Amino acid sequence: MLKKIRVILLFAVVGTALAHAQSARNIQPTANQSPIPDNRELMLRAKSFYVHSDTFFMKREELESSLLGRKEFKDWDLQITNKMQQADLLVRVRRIPFTNHFTYTVTDRLTETIALAGTVDSLAGTVHGLIADEIIHKMKVMRATPPAAPTATTSPQTVAPKVAQIL
């Protein structure tokens, strides 16, 4: 009889702990916690990448080399790491079976938010270059800063030479 009471008590304690853990996960963010940042913000703050390939048809080293070879990658001072825990963004490449379609995702490691995704079609081993091009192009769009607004002050000295050149 005592054994049955212990087992019932054990189940009650475990059930209460599990219910409490579940309710803690469902709590909405408070004023102290910020919501998940948007994709543009994730791209702006990212400084390091980790590349993972789930396909035999593209080695991760090929994509790493293609990304490192891009001018923008160097200009933005981005890095590639072999330690997933240190990377800001995780790049994962897959091949759809029996096709030449390769899908990729770029995921923020901390929030697990997919910031970029796409599909490329490739034959003859060009997939790494196509994926690198797409990632850089999409990052360019997200990292682009709006052009500076022209100043409203124009002095007569700067206008006169321009008028003389037109005439």
From residue 19, alpha-carbon distances to 6, 7, 12, 114 in Å are 20, 18, 10, 29
Contact 116, 91 (CB under 8 A): no
How does pLDDT run across 25-69, given as a tens digit for each residue?
Answer: 554 555 555 688 899 999 999 999 999 999 999 999 999 999 999
Indicate the pTM of the whole model.
0.66
Please give the single-letter amino acid code of residue 66: S
Domains of the chain, earliest start first: 39-142 (3.40.50.11830)
How does pLDDT run across 102-154, given as a tens digit for each residue?
Answer: 999 999 999 999 999 999 998 878 999 999 999 999 999 998 755 445 555 54
